């Protein structure tokens, strides 16, 4: 598969019309149709359902669309990395991060680094830990800011000094909203929403002191914003970390005994990185060390 043909495919998939896609690509309609048919022959699958007026992706076509977007992004990232100058850092650093207090630390770190290296661009991908790790594995992200607990087997990592406080997000009318803190007996029979990460579920089950299956879980989520809307509609209490933001009609109540966890900046072990990424990682390590030594 050529990148050029994948770009043709993505344009056709977006426009759902061969004629319009050909015009935008500045090629003739027969040329585009021939390229798409050859791509289908190469892959041995049908990518489009065709009619007189439009084309629609098949299931195989939707899979290729997702993969093609990743390949094009990776190719562009590689091109930018190779174009970096020796005299001054340029290019892009791609970082994934979830909904964490530690993003504030990352922002301060990036601001300092970019002040010294103004030609460097930052690409931030927001998602949960699993999606970030997947994109690191596929080469689409240089690194990720992940909440602990996290499996570090494949990664080099740097502990972030900022801590995360665990508790529950409850509706403002809930009896729990009046408490200064909640303990396991307060929540044992309550309808709960929790992260779909297995490591988080284990952490919470240990805090409760029961098997995870004994908890009344009504919903699993991956990002807190949507869970907060469910809390607002009184579906349950969301087990989560405290963030520097508020959600309408909800209250965050910390755990007692308290749970605090850290965050880590991770990147793949034993992997060649661009000069810009390598410089940022070295800068990050020195920055964190200076914080722990109170030199900033």
196 lies in the same domain as 158: no
Q: What is the pLDDT of residues 198-228, one digit of tens each?
A: 888 888 999 999 888 888 999 999 889 999 9
Give the count of beta carbons closer than 10 Å to the beta carbon of residue 120. 20
Name the range with the highest mean pLDDT among 17-31, 54-68, 228-242, 263-277: 228-242
Whether the model clears a pTM of 0.85, i.e. scores above it, the answer is no
158 lies in the same domain as 266: yes
282 lies in the same domain as 201: no
CATH number for the domain harbouring residue 27: 1.10.10.10
| Farthest-apart Cα atoms in the chain, separation | 69
Q: What is the mean pLDDT of residues 20-32?
A: 88
Q: What is the mean pLDDT of residues 175-179?
A: 94
102: nearest Cα among 155, 150, 170: 150
Name the range with the highest mean pLDDT among 77-81, 145-149, 182-186: 182-186
- In this prediction, residue 71 carries a pLDDT of 84
Q: Last residue of some domain: 20, 50, 74? A: 74
Beta-bridge partner residues of 126: 97
Residue owning tokens 């807190």: 224
* Cα separation, 141 vs 176, whole angstroms: 40
95 lies in the same domain as 15: no
214 lies in the same domain as 282: no
Backbone angles phi and psi of 115, in degrees to 5: -60, -40
What would the two tokens of residue 272 be? 């060649």
CB of 193 closer than 8 Å to CB of 231: yes
What would the two tokens of residue 195 be? 């992260």
Give the count of beta carbons closer than 10 Å to the beta carbon of residue 193. 23
How many degrees, rounded to 5, is the angle at CA 273 between CA 92 and CA 134? 80
Domain count, the chain: 3
Name the range with the highest mean pLDDT among 1-15, 141-155, 253-267: 253-267
**Which domain does 46 fall in, by range?**
3-74
H-type helices in 59-179, by residue range?
A: 59-82, 103-116, 129-137
| Average pLDDT over the chain, rounded to an integer | 89
266 lies in the same domain as 213: no
63 lies in the same domain as 113: no
- In this prediction, residue 84 carries a pLDDT of 54
137 lies in the same domain as 172: no
172 lies in the same domain as 250: yes
175 lies in the same domain as 216: yes
184 lies in the same domain as 247: yes
Least confident of 47-51, 74-78, 140-144, 167-171: 74-78
Q: Last residue of some domain: 43, 74, 105? A: 74
Checking if the pLDDT of 80 tops 70, the result is no
What is the number of alpha carbons within 13 Å of residue 190 lying toward its C-beta? 25
Residue owning tokens 């900022």: 162
CATH number for the domain harbouring residue 243: 3.40.190.10
Radius of gyration of the chain (CA): 24
- In this prediction, residue 284 carries a pLDDT of 94
Least confident of 6-10, 75-79, 106-110: 75-79
Checking if the pLDDT of 78 tops 80, the result is no
158 lies in the same domain as 40: no
* Cα separation, 172 vs 175, whole angstroms: 8
Q: Last residue of some domain: 74, 99, 127? A: 74
Q: What is the pLDDT of residues 126-139, one digit of tens each?
A: 998 889 999 998 88
């Amino acid at each position: 598969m050529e990148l050029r043909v994948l770009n043709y495919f993505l344009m056709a998939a977006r426009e759902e019309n061969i004629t319009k896609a050909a015009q935008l690509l500045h090629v003739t309609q027969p040329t585009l149709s021939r390229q798409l048919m050859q791509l289908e022959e190469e892959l041995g699958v049908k990518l489009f359902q065709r009619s007189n007026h439009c084309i629609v992706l098949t299931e195989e076509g939707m899979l290729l669309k997702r993969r093609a977007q990743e390949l094009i992004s990776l190719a562009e990232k590689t091109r930018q990395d190779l174009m970096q100058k020796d005299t001054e850092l340029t290019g892009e650093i791609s970082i994934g991060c979830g909904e964490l207090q530690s993003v504030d630390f990352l922002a301060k770190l990036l601001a300092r680094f970019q002040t010294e290296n103004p030609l460097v661009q930052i690409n931030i991908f927001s998602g949960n830990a699993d999606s970030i790790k997947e994109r690191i594995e596929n080469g689409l992200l240089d690194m990720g800011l992940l909440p602990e607990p996290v499996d570090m087997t494949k990664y080099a990592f740097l502990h972030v000094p900022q801590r995360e406080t665990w508790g529950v997000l409850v509706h403002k009318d809930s009896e729990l909203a009046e408490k200064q803190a909640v303990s396991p007996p307060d929540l044992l029979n309550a309808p709960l929403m929790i992260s779909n990460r297995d490591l988080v579920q284990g952490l919470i089950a240990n805090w409760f002191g029961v098997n995870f299956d004994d908890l009344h879980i009504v919903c699993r989520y991956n990002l807190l914003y949507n869970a907060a809307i469910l809390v607002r509609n009184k579906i349950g209490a969301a087990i989560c970390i405290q963030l520097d933001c508020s959600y309408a009609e909800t209250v965050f109540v910390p755990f007692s005994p308290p749970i605090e966890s850290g965050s880590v900046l991770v990147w793949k072990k034993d992997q060649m990185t661009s000069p810009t990424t390598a410089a940022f990682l070295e800068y990050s390590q020195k920055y964190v060390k200076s914080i722990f030594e109170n030199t900033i």
